[in-house]
Amino acid sequence: MNSSQFFGLTTLAYLLSSAMYIALFVFKNRKIGFFGTILCILGTITLTAALGLRWYESYQLGIGHAPLTNMYESLVFFAWCISLFYLFMEFKFQNRVIGAFVMPFAFTAMAYASFAKGVNQEISPLIPALQSNWLIAHVITCFIGYGAFAMAAGLGVMYLLKKSALNRKLAADTLTGSLPELRFVDDMTYKTIVFGFLWLSAGIITGAIWANEAWGTYWSWDPKETWSIITWFVYASTLHARFTRGWTGTRIASLAIIGFVSVFFTYFGVNYLLSGLHSYAN
């Protein structure tokens, strides 16, 4: 089997896992949630093998670079970061219903990589700007942060749904009754944002060092750079509001969602709508 087939199996596993977690949320059946976890683990293991195999295939072609250099490879790595971070959170906090709000992000990334038109799936030689040891450091740090922000956005949606249910005084046996307590979700959202913010900061720093090596300047206000710093300020403002003004609950949940919208535009919107030094990432 080649890496593409492993990626296909991962997409299927994440689809079924997402469906199981959503079924857990709707029907509150713990057995369904257990199968969701098993599928998530199997999908993550398969995706890990697929990334390693694609790296090996690049060496067989005489190219020999990490599978992190174009939109296709970054999408599957993004899905890997989301699922790995989610599994860590699930086992740490022993709550599977969160998967209904997080794993669909991983499936969507894999599905888009596999089926979207215009996403180049071929292993291609690196252009000179990408031939740097800083490539791996920059991409890994950024996408660990992105994975955490996807988790935070899912938690933000959970919080708003739970809060709305409580405001409407819905019974505990309704759809949102399976969601964790608000204080727990709020605390998880905050801690996840902190984790993602640290990694995003590291990603921006490694990117600046890489930019100086490739283009002779640490910062050039390229559209991708501009939007990455906008995203950084969104999350920095969120944490500032939490620390200094005591913002919690609905405000933090809403900012977690807004922040991920900014991440989404930084990742996708800039590539397709704005031209710049990062346009090669398609």
Whether 5 and 111 map to the same domain: the answer is yes
Rounded Cα–Cα distance for residues 17 and 103 (Å):
7
Helices 71-93, 3-27: inter-axial angle, 10-degree rounding: 40
Instruction: Give the integer Cα–Cα distance in Å for 29 and 17.
Output: 14
Q: Are 22 and 149 members of one domain? A: no
Type of residue at 25: F
pLDDT tens digits, 186-198 = 999 999 999 999 9
**Domain range for 281:** 128-282
Give the contacts of 213 (CB within 8 A, at least 6 positions apart).
Answer: 132, 134
Same structural domain for residues 177 and 253?
yes
Question: Is the same domain home to 62 and 111?
Answer: yes
Q: Tell me: do 168 and 49 sit in the same domain.
A: no
86 vs 154: CA distance, rounded Å: 11
Number of domains in the chain: 2
Tell me the CA distances in angstroms from 201 to 86, 192, 276, one per residue in order.
Answer: 21, 14, 21
Asked if 125 and 191 count as a contact pair (C-beta separation under 8 A), the reply is no
Please give the pLDDT value at position 280: 46
Of 102, 126, 150, the last residue of a domain is: 126
Q: How many CA atoms lie within 13 A of 166 on its CB side?
A: 14
Residues 138 and 259 placed together within one structural domain of the fold: yes
Identify which has the larger pLDDT, 53 or 134: 53
Q: For residue range 103-148, what is the model confidence (pLDDT) as tens digits?
A: 999 999 999 999 988 788 888 888 776 778 888 899 999 999 999 9
Same domain, residue pair 98 and 175: no
Please tell me the total number of residues recorded for the chain in this structure: 282
pTM of the model: 0.93
Do 114 and 149 fall into the same domain?
A: no
